[in-house]
Each structure stands twice: as C-alpha cells, then as structure tokens.
Amino acid sequence: ARLVEKRDGPAKRHPAEQRLQSALFPKRSITIGHPLKIAVFAHVRHPISEPFMGGMEAHCRMLCDGLRANGHDVTLFAAGGSVDDQFVPICDAPYEAVLPWVTWRGTEALAQYQRAAFEAGWAIVRAGGFDLVHNNTLFPDLIEWAARDRIACVTSHHVPPF
C-alpha cells in the first residue's frame, strides 16, 4: 500500500522560514518586457574566443549571443584575449597562460589571481546599474557578493568548484 499525502491548496510555510526566504532572496523590481542590462561573468581560465577550449567558453559565447538576440544589453566580463563587442577585460591574460592549472591548482597564487580579476569586474558592476548578473564561472564568491550588494544574480553551475 502507498501513502498519498493530501493537501488543500499550497503548502503553508512557517513564519520564520518566510522571513529567511525574504532575507536571502529579496524581491527586485525588474519589469520583463523591456531589455535588461546584463553582466555576464566568464571563467578566466581561457579566453572567450574561437576555437573554444571547452564547453564553458562555448556556452558563455552562446549565452551572450542569445541574450542579445532577445534584445538585452549584455556586457561580457572575461579574461584578456576574449573577443566580444561589449567585452570588459578583468585580467590581462587567462590564468592558464600565467599560472597553468596543472601546476598551480589549489595554490594561494591562483586563488588570488582569480579573486583580483573578479573583484575588478565586480567593482564595475556595482557602479554600472546592471539589472542582472549571470555568473558563468567557477568562482562562488560572486554569488555571495550579489547577495551582499542586493544585485540579482543567476549562476550556471557547470561542475563543482575546484
């Protein structure tokens, strides 16, 4: 025999859970129907340019192109060497060219290189009036910064951060 739960209408949340939900996910007044100003952050291991080094880079290119095709104003924040009409370099070179992952993985030097790049881009986002940030990186701090600064953010989660 199977037990089936019956509900009359939507599930009720505890008031404390409702307060927590409101604190973690504040409502933003973004009106759909007009173009959004979107900041897309790319992983800085490789440039966003063809031929793509992998799926993350290709995904980022298609994401920017698709959002623009739908009328949005998209700025790509990525490593130097990337190619895009609205490209903002957040570091001079991809970290693979400076601190190759196979050698520098897990080191403080590589962590600091990435942090400096994303902090540079984030400073522009905070000052730039963006409606939305799309985090297409493996850098989880962007999610915390968006929550702290109350900037709407979505994240494409490709693989566990390493």
- pLDDT tens, residue by residue, 91-138: 999 999 999 999 999 999 999 999 999 999 999 999 989 999 999 998
Round the average pLDDT of the chain to a whole number and report it: 85
Phi, psi at 88, each rounded to 5°: -120, 110
Q: pTM here?
A: 0.78
Instruction: Tell me the CA distances in angstroms from 61 to 18, 39, 77, one per residue in order.
Output: 37, 13, 12
Q: Indicate if the pLDDT at residue 1 is higher than 80.
A: no
Comparing 142 with 30, the larger pLDDT belongs to 142
* pLDDT confidence of residue 27: 52
Tell me the two tokens of residue 99: 């601190």
* pLDDT confidence of residue 9: 47
Q: Using 50, 70 and 90 to split pLDDT, how confident is the model at 37? A: very high
For helices 141-149 and 108-127, give the axis angle rounded to 10 degrees: 30
DSSP category for residue 66: H
